[in-house]
């Protein structure tokens, strides 16, 4: 094992700390407000505003196996921007709303990836709108918020997939807003944040709400703990909701592209590693095999439409907690060491290997032994690695001083 590999193991022995954003193949055409989703391991991006600042009906798909994009036949509806989409358990994508070059829209379309077909569905009877929220729960799709020619909206509507019909549901018990964040977390509708107005003053919100779809009632949850924000992207994985990037509380870029995970069981947000660079306004995202792909939008800081695509591995928080417990139960003492290096280790640890500072292995031991003699070892920095069979669990540094 060479020195580079040893230090790599030290730096990345915890998978929680190893989460990084990886650059993937650029999307063919840059745009903000793309509608993005994934079906059967393929990612999709449709419509959005082009770098020429016009609504589009372009349609692309991404294959992670080949890390390549393909151009698909154009979306059959009106060109649009500021639309929204989701995927239902029936494995169909549903998209609609937004604005064309001449009007606000209220249409709804389904996309069947098995034969690449689009179907026009019943229009929403509520106000035509842009920047709304859309969340799929079972055979229902909930749409609400957004803004119309008359201002910001707080109404909500439910689309029944089985009957192709709409029903109005309870309004959000708060000010109307557009460009909110929203997701399905553990089978419930969550929505909030976004941009609204109080009188003539624009406001970026950080309030957060849950809809009980059985009783048709909203409950105010704890406010989002970070900077108030608008116009990012969101997704679901492992039963948790995630919000990513967007503008901050001044409706301008944030210095970093923040990502947060929401735990619906505790009403707690946890910050995760930010995407590279400053935050992006109106990007898209989709999840394939528990990896989120981040793309599109407008870089307000540099005033350009990025084509960059980044991938980030999402870890099961339950697994992270288990790993953190293993790490907490596994440690070396004393430090500095003189006559011996001792350790305590989690029951999952099977063996221990000790390397010097240039990556040379000089000692192995069964984890249950609990110590090794270092009386005849030269002074210096050493690395103690704990393994579960052949899988590295943790690396600790220890200084030997005689």
Same fold, 3-12+330-400 and 21-314: no
Q: What is the pLDDT of residue 211?
A: 96
Length of the chain: 402
User: DSSP label at 230?
Assistant: B
DSSP string, 104-129: B---EEEEETTTTEEEE-PPPSS---
For residue 149, with 0-12 CB atoms within 10 Å meaning exposed, 13-18 middle and 19 or more buried, which class applies? Answer: exposed
User: DSSP label at 4?
Assistant: H
CATH code for the domain defined by 3-12+330-400: 2.60.40.3080
Alpha-carbon distances of 310 from 23, 273, 274, 287, 400, rounded to whole Å: 5, 13, 11, 12, 42
Name all contacts of 73-80 with Cβ < 8 Å and 24+ positions apart. Answer: 73/116, 75/46, 75/47, 75/109, 75/118, 76/109, 76/118, 76/120, 77/107, 77/109, 77/118, 77/120, 78/105, 78/107, 79/47, 79/54, 79/55, 80/47, 80/55, 80/56, 80/105
Q: Are 293 and 43 in contact (CB under 8 A)?
A: yes
Q: What is the pLDDT of residue 393?
A: 78
Q: What is the pLDDT of residue 358?
A: 62
pTM for this predicted structure: 0.77
Domain ranges of the chain: 3-12+330-400, 21-314
Domain 21-314 fold: Neuraminidase (2.120.10)
Q: Are 400 and 336 in contact (CB under 8 A)?
A: yes
Q: Which parts of the chain have pLDDT scores under 70? A: 1-19, 316-327, 357-359
Residue 299: cis peptide before it, omega within 30 degrees of 0:
no
pLDDT, tens digit, for every residue of 5-24? 333 333 333 444 446 899 99
Structure tokens belonging to residue 116? 């690449």
């Amino acid at each position: 094992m060479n020195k580079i590999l040893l230090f790599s193991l030290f730096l990345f022995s915890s998978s929680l700390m190893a989460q990084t954003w990886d650059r993937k193949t650029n999307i063919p055409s840059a745009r903000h407000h793309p509608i993005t989703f994934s079906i059967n391991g393929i990612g999709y991006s449709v419509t959005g505003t082009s770098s020429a600042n016009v609504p589009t009906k372009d349609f692309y798909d991404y294959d992670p196996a080949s890390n390549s994009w393909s151009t698909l036949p154009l979306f059959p509806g009106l060109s649009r921007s500021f639309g929204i989409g989701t995927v239902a358990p029936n494995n169909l994508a549903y998209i609609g709303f937004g604005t064309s070059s001449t009007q606000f829209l209220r249409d709804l379309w389904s996309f069947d990836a098995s034969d690449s077909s689009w179907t026009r569905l019943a229009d929403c009877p509520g106000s035509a709108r842009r920047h709304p929220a859309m969340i799929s729960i079972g055979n229902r799709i909930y749409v609400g918020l957004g803004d119309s020619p008359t201002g910001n909206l707080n109404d909500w509507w439910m689309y029944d997939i089985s009957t192709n019909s709409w029903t109005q549901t309870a309004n959000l018990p708060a000010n109307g807003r557009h460009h909110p964040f929203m997701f399905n977390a553990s089978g419930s509708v969550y929505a909030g944040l976004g941009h609204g107005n109080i009188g003539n003053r624009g406001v970026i919100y950080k309030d957060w709400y849950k809809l009980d779809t059985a009783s048709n009632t909203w409950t105010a949850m704890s406010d989002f703990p970070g900077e108030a924000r608008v116009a990012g992207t969101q997704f679901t994985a492992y039963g948790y909701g995630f919000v990513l990037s967007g503008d901050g509380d001044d409706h301008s870029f944030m210095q970093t592209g923040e990502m947060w995970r929401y735990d619906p069981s505790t009403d707690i947000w946890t910050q995760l590693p930010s995407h590279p660079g400053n935050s992006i306004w109106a990007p898209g995202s989709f999840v394939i095999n528990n990896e989120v792909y981040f793309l599109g939008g407008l870089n307000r800081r540099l005033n350009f439409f990025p084509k960059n695509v980044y991938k980030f591995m999402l870890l099961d928080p339950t697994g992270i907690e288990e790993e953190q417990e293993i790490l907490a139960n596994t440690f070396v003492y004393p430090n500095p060491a003189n006559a011996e290096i001792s350790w305590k280790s989690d029951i999952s640890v099977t063996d221990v290997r000790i390397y010097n500072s240039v990556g040379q292995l000089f000692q192995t031991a069964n984890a249950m032994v609990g110590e090794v003699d270092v009386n005849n070892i030269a002074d210096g920095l050493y690395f103690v690695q704990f393994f579960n069979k052949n899988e590295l669990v943790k690396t600790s540094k220890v200084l030997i001083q005689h």
